[in-house]
A and B are shown apart, each in its own frame.
Chain A
Amino acid sequence: MHKVAKYAGQGVLYALFAAVVGYFSTLPKYHHLEPDQALLRLSFKHPGKTKADCRQRSPEELARVPANMRQALDCPRERSPVRVRVELDGKDLYDESFPPSGLSKDGASTGYRRLTIAAGRHHLKVQFADDVRVAGFNFEREHDVHAKPGQVVLIDFAPDQGGIVIR
């Protein structure tokens, strides 16, 4: 191959290499959300109530165990799962139960879900149930949101802030 043709060929291939590196380092853009979508992000970490009440041990039961283990109350460790229900503009959007963590199911329930919604005004109703001994949901919050395109509406659970948090 002629020397000039060789150098020209090298130039073309080096330019192609640069073009591939330069282009795919940022392009094509990934459309993570459609332009008219917003995001509802549910995230919480919350220990449910214990599944059963503590029970008073009888004197006979206490007598059967060593003195250092004589605790008056027998409290089951297993916790209730945390059930979450989300209603958007009067329609069910999401309903799921999150089991407690741990081998003895005595840890906190953790939940994370990512739900895309249409941007715009919405009426949001969120319900949490963390006690199987109580029928229905023991926490509820309703909120009007105006979600701009790409905006994240966060649903959390913080007992010290009154329970369900929407922001």
Chain B
Amino acid sequence: MSTAQAPDAASGRSALARAFHALERGFDRVFGPGANPLRQLGALGFWFFWIVTVSGVYIYAFFDTSIVGAYQSLEALAREQRYAGGIMRSLHRYASDAFVIVMALHLVRELAYGRFRGFRWFSWLSGVPLVWLAIACGIGGYWLVWDQLAQFIGIATTEWFSALPGFEVSMVRNFLDAGTLSDRFFSLLVFLHIGLPLLLLLGMWIHIQRITRARTQPDAWLGWATLGVLVILSLAKPALSQAPVDLSIEPARIGLDWFYLFAYPGIYRLSPGAMWFILGGSTLLLCVLPWLDAKPRPAVARVDPANCNGCGRCLADCPYEAVLLQPREGARSRFKLAVVLPDLCAGCGVCAGACPSSTPFRSVDALATGIDMPQLSVGDLRGRMERAVGRLAGHARVVVFGCDRGAPVHGLEEASVAAFSLPCIGMLPPSFIEYALRGGADGIMVVGCADGDCEFRCGAEWIRQRIDGAREPHLRTSVPRERVIMLWPYHDEGGSLEAALAGFRMQLRSTMAAAGHAPKRRQGETTHA
């Protein structure tokens, strides 16, 4: 039983997605899933932002905002206090570069996995301007150094903007000779170099608004290791200024920071207008991508007011902030009702798994829960499971619960094995495990997704915690844990499940043999306990 197509390689994952997944798995082996940098690119972006901020505050304390003083103060910082200001200056540069790297990888990863359409449009669209803001922050920073790179950037930027309507070519006249510039120019640059990062931070905050428990801190080991690497790099190759500004010459060979200044050669190799067309067109394309490549959205969760008690567990577990609690109409304010925001709902069903009304033990013929999925209701799941468990034959009968987006579980079905695939493993109410065992299954296999491989975030983590008793609704402690196995394969590791199932069934047989009897299905037992 399945509710959606499994998006594995066979069902159309792009070559880029497969390549990225292979790279991530390789990194998993080296770093471990918890410290894999490719699985926390956004968090690393925040981490590098804070390194840049702290080092920037230090540099600013020594920075002289004047034409003559800017260059000298930064050179003094780098040379006279090499192991303090020098490292801070280098960290400021290299952490900024690292920020661009993780930002670019983050964009490519989400693009590769198709995580830009449907309910994710807001996160995608709000991320696009951050690319421009980040680049603008870096360009402004290089301008402040007031060396020949700054001279090149200053002239090239004004030449570039001159190609836009509304921008006068006379802007570039500010850089014709030293007499046309004043110290106020540096005050403006400093203002921009503080203001733009603040805007960037605001944009990053907006970017994660529709994600529950967005990860803004990387794994501690990964964070400190990357900082250590950047410090070592700062010592090995300190960031230094190029020759001071000389407006009577045109710098011929320039050491560009390609992470921020990659577009500048194009201004001269192609033309300023062509670069606007390429970059503006790319930005526009990224902005409209969620609608250009739109796919049908899965049905969203529905609330049944008659069965919702307003406990708020669905709100707590929803990975995308798609559930609200509102006062019930005509009731006292302490009585709440869950409300689903359809535009934000991913259709994962995690909320149905969190609902205390989703227990199959309720003595009702038609099981309805407080919040449910139209494509696979909890009541349907109970009915199908009862029928499937009733048909199980042989020894070591197992019920497998899997995920539509994870390793496929249907191939495991046989006379003594029933398999159910849910939109997300987080949709499984833990009471279904006990219900299946009481109904006659000898063991339950819960197949979630590997760390970082969950399409919907949180699903695997929530079900693990529910079964371990660390999250409500939890699996009752009286359920024998040796009869429950949890597996977390990658989505393309369906083949490994057969061996795992065989091993589990062998273990069940041993357990039953040791107990001196095989657990028998209680014939005729009502399944509506």
Contacts and interface: CB of A to CB of B under 8 A. Distances in A.
Interface of A: 1, 6, 9-10, 13-15, 17-18, 20-22, 24-27, 29-35, 37-39, 41, 43, 45, 101, 110-112, 114, 149-152, 154, 156
Contact of B170 (A25, A26, A33, A110): A110
B94 A22 contact: yes
Contacts of A110: 168-170
A149 B250 CA distance: 9
B253 interface: yes
B254 A43 contact: no
A83 B255 CA distance: 37
Given A20-B101, A21-B98, A156-B176, A31 B259 contact: no
A112 B159 contact: yes
Contacts of B514: none
A154 B249 CA distance: 10
Contacts of B162: 112
A18 B29 contact: no
A18 to B, nearest CB: 5
B256 A29 contact: yes
29 contacts: A6-B31, A10-B30, A10-B31, A10-B225, A13-B27, A13-B30, A13-B31, A14-B226, A15-B229, A17-B226, A18-B229, A18-B232, A21-B98, A22-B233, A25-B94, A25-B257, A25-B259, A29-B256, A30-B255, A30-B256, A31-B252, A32-B254, A35-B252, A39-B250, A43-B170, A43-B176, A110-B168, A150-B251, A156-B176
Contacts of A6: 29-32
Contact of A25 (B27, B97, B169): B97
B256 to A, nearest CB: 5
B251 A26 contact: no
A29 B251 contact: no
B233 A18 contact: yes
B264 interface: yes
A153 to B, nearest CB: 9
A26 B169 CA distance: 29
B229 A17 contact: yes
A32 B229 contact: no
Q: What class of interface size applies to chain B in its complex with A?
A: 35 or more
Given A30-B264, A112-B159, 8 more contacts: A18-B230, A22-B94, A26-B257, A30-B265, A32-B152, A32-B254, A33-B252, A112-B162
Contact of A14 (B93, B169, B225): B225
A21 B233 contact: yes
B220 interface: no
Nearest to B255: A26
Contacts of A32: 152, 250-254, 268
Interface string B3-43: 00000000000000000000000010111100000000000
A38 B226 CA distance: 43
B68 interface: no
B384 interface: no
B253 A31 contact: yes
A137 B265 CA distance: 36
Chain B CB count within 10 A is highest, among A31, A101, A152, for: A152
Interface in B165-187: 168-170, 172-173, 176-177
B329 to A, nearest CB: 56
Nearest to A27: B255
B248 interface: yes
Contacts of A41: 176
Given A25-B239, A30-B265, A152 B250 contact: yes
A157 to B, nearest CB: 11
Contact of B173 (A14, A43, A150): A43
A97 B232 CA distance: 56
By Cβ-Cβ distance, the 10 closest A-B pairs, closest first, are A26-B255, A9-B30, A112-B169, A33-B252, A24-B258, A39-B250, A18-B233, A150-B252, A110-B170, A29-B253
B352 to A, nearest CB: 38
Contacts of B97: 21, 24-25
